[in-house]
A and B are shown apart, each in its own frame.
Chain A
Amino acid sequence: MVSTNQEAVISAALEKHSSTEGALLPILHEIQDALGYIPSDSIDVIGKGINRSRAEVHGVVSFYHHFRTHKPGRHIIQVCRSEACQAVGAVEVIEKLKRTLGIDFHESTLDGQITLEPIYCLGHCACGPALMVNGEPRAKMTPDHVDNLVNELRTKNHDD
């Protein structure tokens, strides 16, 4: 079932970019936007689709931090580690996140629901510490806000 969906997503991405020049990044983005990651068994198909070797496609996927090779949780927290956020307490916020979730960067909670990722600047440097939850920004974060945020995400899980 999952793999049919995966196949459909990949062929749609290849189809959509069949005449795009330098199409590999746009294709990978389509796939990750739909599936949350780039499944390792898709590398071959993508390579064939754009006449590039498996090694080349793999090289591109692994070069860019944005592309995941493992399925993330339902919720993704991307927290800024860069200097402007550090200057206003990002380190404390990050430590609190890791402790509350019981995970390190690039890991998901035991229930598989929440994934934590580092990010290097979100452009909210005048109102840090900043993070993004499922693509939505949160600025001026504090360790206390972390509790609220995690509760909010956990409640959402209970609701459905």
Chain B
Amino acid sequence: MTTKIFIPRDSSAIGLGANLVADAFTRVVQSNNADVQIVRNGSRGLIWMEPLVEVETETGRQGYANVTSNDVDSLFKTMFAGASDHHEKSVGPVEEIPYLKNQERLCFARNGITDPTSIEDYLGNDGYRGLKVALSLDAKSIVEIVTQSGLRGRGGAAFPTGIKWNTVLNCPSDQKYIVCNADEGDSGTFSDRMTIEGDPFALIEGMTIAALAVGATKGYVYLRSEYPHAEEVFTEALLIARAHGYLGENVCGSKRSFDIELRRAAGAYICGEETSMLESLEGKRGLVRPKPPLPAISGLFGQPTVVNNVVTLSSIPFILANGASAYKDYGMGRSMGTLPIQLAGNIKRGGLVEKAFGVTLNELLYDFGGGSASGKPIRTLQIGGPLGAYIPESQFDLKLDYETFSAAGAMIGHGGIVVFDQTVNMASMARFAMEFCAIESCGKCTPCRLSLIHI
């Protein structure tokens, strides 16, 4: 029987050597004539273990962490040639690793498990169950389920998704759009990148459901130019989805038409702001538009437009497949469901942690993150991106909840946490923030509000 070996194609894993490991494995498999299939999966999000190589066994997938090409010969022997079972890089059954086991993975349920561009893998792991439900409902009922789920925008502003969709649904127009914001500009955030590289069909499915809900026929994904690997995976996934009838003139035989176009951004931070992004999609400079009108009413090319973040949209398939309350049962207060949190910067176990709202910063930093990478005490963290806040250690007991954070003068934003140890020079971080805002201002207001925030 063919044995599968999994080596992530996630770009962070590649940055840590995954392609070299895959090449070495291909060579050793060929020279041994072994019955092995090498699968390039997405990343589990345990970036601190990447490249994390997994082998399928009778007792589940066994992992080997931080593998280099030099390990491959001995690893291959451990896996197949009956060498002693233990290898120094072994981390045991992957699903039992506490970092992974203690998460609540709804949005990231498939990441690292599947081959991102295999539609068979997607279908075999609950994929397109949400769309099937959506196709059996009228538009109003889909919007109602999303509203009931309590899902709020994960791009930063935390606006209720169902309410936004309802506005677009109620705007009569022949042409409506779904625009996915994949500009992910904040330092410390990579959940959009990991979704697109690791589970692109989830985003495609989420956008298709959004289209059915509001009556849109065309979608755009505005993807930052700093993500060439995500672009490659998503381009491939779009072709496959079209070839299998999940996009196009007649989505799943429903006579409904929806297609998605991938658009590459061009390195302007302000284009993450939704109206600036719409200007950019129209081929202009990314100057922020005055609101009102809301994009929901007059958005792309003046038409009613849903603008949602990648993670917002890829949370939708779970909600439709499992029902509003299955999602809403997670979380606290008015922050319902889960958030894919990204642990970044000076942290020992950096990576993606999807947890229900209500988890504390302390739990994230120490139980998951294992403290700083340098071993020195953590002094502060930045959350909510450059427009967010630095939070001192005295506030690390804050629970992740939109309202708790705003009461403390902070914001969760896109859920990226950048950790700094005691050697951080706050004056130079402030200088950097000023410089960044000066570079990234769209130049419409004088003086730019962005930099005023930091003065």
* Closest A residue to B194 using CB positions: A123
Please report the C-alpha to C-alpha distance between residue A32 and residue B226 in the assembled complex, in whole angstroms: 14
Q: B311 an interface residue at 8 Å Cβ cutoff? A: no
In the bound complex, what is the Cα–Cα distance between A122 and B286 (angstroms)? 20
Number of A residues with CB within 8 Å of any CB on chain B: 45
- Of the stretches B81-89, B107-115, B314-322, B417-425, the one at the interface is B417-425
Q: Assess whether B418 is in contact with A84, with CB atoms less than 8 Å apart.
A: yes
**Residues of chain B within 8 A of A64, CB atoms compared:** 266-268, 285-286
Does any Cβ of A come within 8 Å of B259's Cβ?
Answer: no
Known: A23-B283, A121-B226, A125-B345. A88 touches B373 (CB 8 A): yes
With beta carbons under 8 angstroms apart, the residue of B192, B265, B345 that contacts A87 is B345
What's the least CB distance linking B348 to chain A, in Å?
Answer: 11
Give bound CA distance, A67 to B345, whole Å. Answer: 28
Q: When each residue 133-148 of chain A gets 1 if its CB lies under 8 Å from chain B and 0 otherwise, what string results?
A: 0011111100000000
Closest to A130 in B: B15
> At the interface, yes or no: A11 with Cβ under 8 Å from chain B?
no
Tell me whether A86 and B285 are in contact (CB under 8 A). no
Known: A29-B264, A86-B429, A87-B424. A126 touches B285 (CB 8 A): no
B50 at interface, CB cutoff 8 A: yes
With A29-B266, A66-B225, A66-B266 in contact, do A124 and B11 touch (Cβ < 8 Å)?
yes
Identify the closest chain B residue to A64 (Cβ).
B266
On whether the beta carbons of A63 and B268 are closer than 8 Å, the reply is yes
Q: How far is the CA of A122 from the CA of B342 in the complex (A)?
A: 14
Q: Which of B11, B48, B374 has the most CB of A within 10 A?
A: B11
Roughly how many angstroms separate A82 CA and B194 CA in the complex, as a whole number?
19
Q: Does B186 contact A (CB under 8 A)?
A: yes
Contact A124 B188 (CB under 8 A): no
Q: Which of A59, A120, A125 has the most CB of B within 10 A?
A: A125
Distance, CA A13 to CA B192, complexed state (A): 29
Measured between beta carbons, the chain B residues less than 8 angstroms from A85 are 187, 345
Provide the residues of chain B in CB contact with A15, threshold 8 Å.
Answer: none
Q: In the complex, which of the residues A24, A86, A126, A137 contacts B350, with contact meaning CB atoms closer than 8 Å?
A: A126
| Cβ contact within 8 Å between B264 and A25 | yes
Check if A63 sits within 8 Å of B285, measured CB to CB. yes
Which residues from chain A contact B266 at a C-beta distance below 8 Å?
25, 28-29, 64-67
Taking a contact as CB atoms under 8 Å apart, the answer to whether A121 and B185 are in contact is: yes
The CA of A119 and the CA of B185, in the complex, are separated in Å by 11
Is the Cβ of B228 less than 8 Å from the Cβ of A135? yes
Q: How close is A138's CB to chain B, nearest CB, in angstroms?
A: 6
> How far does the alpha carbon of A127 sit from the alpha carbon of B51 in the complex, in Å?
11
CB distance from B77 to the nearest CB of A (A): 27
Asked if A136 and B343 sit within 8 Å, CB to CB, the answer is: no
**Chain A residues, CB < 8 A from B269:** 120
Which residues in B have their C-beta under 8 angstroms from that of A83? 187-188, 345, 382, 386, 418, 429, 432
- Chain A residues with CB under 8 Å of B386's CB are 83
- Max count, chain B CB within 10 A of own CB: residue among A50, A52, A122, A138: A122
Q: Mark B279-319, 1 if CB is under 8 A from A, else 0.
A: 01111111000000000000001000000000000000000
B131 to chain A, nearest CB (A): 26
Q: In the complex, which of the residues A52, A65, A82 has the most CB atoms of chain B within 10 Å of its own CB atom?
A: A82
A26 proximal to B (CB < 8 A) = yes
Quick one: which of B172-203 are within 8 Å of A by CB? 184-190, 192-194
B-chain residues with CB within 8 Å of residue A28 when the two chains form the complex: 266
Chain B residues in 8 Å Cβ range of A127: 12, 15-16, 47-48, 50, 350
B283 and A125 within 8 A (CB):
no
Q: Which residues of A contact B15 (CB under 8 A)?
A: 124, 127, 130, 137-140
Query: Is B14 an interface position by the 8 A CB rule?
Result: yes
Is the C-beta of A21 less than 8 angstroms from some C-beta in chain B? yes
Q: A63 CA to B347 CA in the complex, in Å?
A: 35
CA distance in complex: A26, B265 (Å):
9
List the A residue with the shortest CB-CB distance to B190. A123
A137 vs B416: C-alpha distance when bound (angstroms): 20
CB distance from A148 to the nearest CB of B (A): 13
- B116 interface hit (Cβ, 8 Å): no
A86 with B432: CB separation less than 8 A: yes
- In angstroms, Cα B373 to Cα A128, docked, is 11
Q: Which residues in chain B, 27-49, are within 8 Å of chain A measured between CB atoms?
A: 47-48
Closest partner residue, chain A, to B225 (CB atom): A66
Q: Which residue of B lies closest to A117 (CB)?
A: B267
0 or 1 for each of A5-25: is its CB under 8 Å from B? (1 = yes): 000000000000000011111
Interface, chain A (partner B; CB < 8 A): 21-26, 28-29, 50, 52, 56, 59-60, 63-67, 78, 81-88, 119-128, 130, 132, 135-140
Which B positions have Cβ atoms within 8 angstroms of A?
11-12, 14-16, 47-48, 50, 184-190, 192-194, 225-229, 263-269, 280-286, 301, 342-347, 350-352, 373-374, 382, 386, 416, 418-421, 424, 429, 432, 436, 439-440, 442
Provide 27 A-B residue pairs closer than 8 Å at the C-beta atoms, listed in order of the A residue.
Answer: A22-B301, A25-B264, A25-B283, A29-B225, A29-B266, A63-B268, A63-B286, A64-B286, A65-B268, A85-B187, A87-B418, A87-B424, A88-B345, A88-B346, A120-B187, A120-B269, A121-B185, A121-B226, A122-B226, A123-B227, A124-B12, A124-B15, A125-B190, A125-B350, A126-B47, A128-B345, A136-B14
- Given A64-B266, A87-B345, A126-B347, 9 more pairs with CB closer than 8 A: A24-B283, A25-B280, A65-B266, A83-B382, A84-B418, A120-B185, A121-B226, A127-B350, A139-B12
What 6 A-B pairs are tightest by C-beta distance, nearest first? A126-B350, A139-B15, A137-B15, A24-B283, A64-B266, A87-B345
